[in-house]
Structure 1
Amino acid sequence: MIKFGFSTTGEEAAAALSSNIRGRTVIVTGVTPGGLGLETARVIALHDPKLLVLAGRSREKLQQAEEAVRRAAPQTALRQLVLDLGSLSAVRKAAAEVNGWDDVPAVDVVINNAGIMATPFALTEDGIESQFATNHVGHFLFTQLIMAKVLAGGPGKRVVNLSSNAYRSGGVRYDDWNFQDGKTYEPWAAYGQSKSANILYSKSLATKYKSKGLTAFSVHPGAIWTNLGHHAKDDLKAMGLMDENGSLKDTETIKWKTLGQGVSTTIVAAFDPSIADQSGAWLSDCQPTETPEEWLQDPDGPDRLWKLSEQLVGQKFDA
Structure 2
Amino acid sequence: MSTSGKKATATALAQKYAPQIANKTVLITGVSPKSLGATFVTAIAVSSPALLILAGRNAAKVEETTKAIRAAAPHVPVRFLNLDLADRESVRKAAETVLSWEDVPSIDVLVNNACIIGSEYKLIDGCEAHFVVNYLHPFLFTNLLLPKVLAVKGRVVNVASDCHRWHHIRFSDLNFDVSVSWKISQKSAAHLHPKQNGKIYNMWQAYGQSKTANMLFSLALARRLGGRGIVTNSVHPGIIQTNAASHLDPAEIPRLIEQVELQCGLANQEITSYKTVDEGTATHVYAAFEPGLKDHNGAYLLDSHVADPLEDPVAAWGTSEADAEKLWRLSEKLLGENFEW
TM-score, shorter chain, exceeding 0.5: yes
Tell me if the contact between 1:117 and 1:231 (Cα under 8 Å) persists in the aligned partners.
Answer: no
1:123 deviates by: 1.2
Which residue in the other structure is 2:113 paired with?
A: 113
Which residue in the other structure is 1:159 paired with?
A: 156
**1:179–1:276: structure 2 CA closer, same or farther, 3 Å change rule?**
same
- Separation of aligned partners in 2, 1:175 and 1:303: 15
Tell me if the contact between 2:155 and 2:231 (Cα under 8 Å) persists in the aligned partners.
Answer: yes
- Separation of aligned partners in 1, 2:245 and 2:176: 22
- Separation of aligned partners in 1, 2:337 and 2:258: 44
Tell me if the contact between 1:88 and 1:313 (Cα under 8 Å) persists in the aligned partners.
Answer: no
Which residue in the other structure is 1:309 paired with?
A: 331
**1:231–1:312: structure 2 CA closer, same or farther, 3 Å change rule?**
farther
- 1:128 equivalent to 2:123? Answer no
Which residue in the other structure is 1:139 paired with?
A: 138
Letter aligned with residue 17 of structure 2: L
**1:3–1:263: structure 2 CA closer, same or farther, 3 Å change rule?**
closer
Instruction: Give the share of equivalent positions with the same residue, in percent.
Output: 40
1:55-104 alpha-carbon deviations (Å, 9 max, x no partner): 11111212222112111111101110011111111100000000000111
- Separation of aligned partners in 2, 1:32 and 1:304: 33
Larger Rg over CA atoms: 2
Tell me if the contact between 2:30 and 2:37 (Cα under 8 Å) persists in the aligned partners.
Answer: yes
Which residue in the other structure is 2:236 paired with?
A: 220
Tell me if the contact between 2:3 and 2:13 (Cα under 8 Å) persists in the aligned partners.
Answer: no
RMSD: 1.6
**1:82–1:120: structure 2 CA closer, same or farther, 3 Å change rule?**
same
Which residue in the other structure is 1:247 paired with?
A: none
Deviates more, 1:179-188 or 1:76-85: 179-188
- 1:172 equivalent to 2:163? Answer no
- Separation of aligned partners in 2, 1:306 and 1:219: 19
- Separation of aligned partners in 2, 1:149 and 1:47: 22
TM-score, structure 1 normalization: 0.92
SS in structure 1 opposite 2:123? coil
Tell me if the contact between 1:167 and 1:192 (Cα under 8 Å) persists in the aligned partners.
Answer: yes
- Separation of aligned partners in 2, 1:293 and 1:54: 32
Which residue in the other structure is 2:221 paired with?
A: 205
Where structure 2 has 5 or more consecutive residues not aligned to the other structure, the ranges are 178-196, 260-268
- Separation of aligned partners in 2, 1:64 and 1:106: 26
Where structure 1 has 5 or more consecutive residues not aligned to the other structure, the ranges are 242-250
Q: How many aligned residue pairs are there?
A: 306
- 1:184 equivalent to 2:200? Answer yes
SS in structure 1 opposite 2:127? coil
Deviates more, 1:6-15 or 1:228-237: 228-237
SS in structure 1 opposite 2:321? coil
Letter aligned with residue 256 of structure 1: Y
Which residue in the other structure is 1:245 paired with?
A: none
**1:239–1:179: structure 2 CA closer, same or farther, 3 Å change rule?**
closer
Letter aligned with residue 15 of structure 1: Q
Tell me if the contact between 1:163 and 1:220 (Cα under 8 Å) persists in the aligned partners.
Answer: yes
Tell me if the contact between 2:216 and 2:321 (Cα under 8 Å) persists in the aligned partners.
Answer: no
- 1:66 equivalent to 2:71? Answer no
1:257-286 alpha-carbon deviations (Å, 9 max, x no partner): 011101000100000002210011111100
Tell me if the contact between 1:119 and 1:231 (Cα under 8 Å) persists in the aligned partners.
Answer: no
- 1:16 equivalent to 2:32? Answer no
- Separation of aligned partners in 2, 1:254 and 1:140: 34
Alignment of 1:240-319 (within 5 A): 252-253=270-271, 255-291=273-309, 292-319=314-341
Letter aligned with residue 296 of structure 1: G
